[in-house]
């Protein structure tokens, strides 16, 4: 049984690495860095504006990495930073940014949609349910380290 569990972990780790590599490849094909891709994707998914803290928390990206990407995008006129609540800020797409996100993050999002469109809905729901279950169980194990 132990060897079988190890084989499961190897498969999961390989698939996770393959998915990470696919997202990296998508960034390269879109002509952006991985960190810019995550920031643009988060803002796109949030409807054009997103609290910076949410990007860090929900996407598992370090604050320093997010801030570097934000500075670059702000310098390029893709987004602007504005006050959100208290000291917190949010990133908001500019008109130029809305066009830019259609050429980048929106294309990635649509690729994901098309990939899942090839699956029956119940398979998508099962996949999500199992991913959530595994993440919750693994989170508890990581917290216990």
Q: For residue 60, give Cα distances in angstroms to 8, 64, 71, 83.
A: 24, 12, 19, 22
Q: Note the pLDDT of residue 60.
A: 87
> In the block, which residue shows the tokens 């917190």?
88
> In the block, which residue shows the tokens 């000291």?
87
Structure tokens at 38: 């995550």
Which CATH number is associated with domain 2-143? 1.10.10.10
Q: Note the pLDDT of residue 23.
A: 96
Reading the chain (145 residues) residue by residue, the pLDDT tens digits are 799 999 999 999 999 999 999 999 999 999 999 999 999 999 999 999 999 999 999 888 899 999 999 999 999 999 999 988 888 899 999 999 999 999 999 999 999 999 999 999 999 999 999 999 999 999 999 999 9
Q: Note the pLDDT of residue 9.
A: 93
Q: What is the CA radius of gyration of the chain?
A: 18
């Amino acid at each position: 049984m132990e060897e079988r569990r190890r084989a499961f972990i190897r498969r999961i780790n390989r698939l996770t690495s393959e998915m990470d590599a696919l997202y990296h490849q998508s960034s390269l094909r879109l002509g952006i860095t991985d960190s810019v891709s995550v920031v643009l994707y988060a803002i796109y998914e949030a409807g054009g504006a997103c609290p910076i803290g949410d990007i860090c928390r929900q996407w598992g990206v370090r604050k320093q990495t997010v801030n570097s990407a934000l500075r670059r995008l702000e310098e390029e006129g893709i987004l602007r930073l504005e006050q959100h609540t208290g000291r917190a800020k949010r990133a908001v797409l500019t008109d130029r940014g809305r066009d830019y996100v259609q050429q980048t993050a929106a294309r990635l999002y649509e690729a994901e949609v098309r990939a899942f469109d090839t699956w029956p809905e119940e398979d998508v729901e099962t996949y999500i349910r199992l991913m959530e279950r595994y993440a919750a169980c693994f989170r508890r194990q990581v917290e216990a380290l």
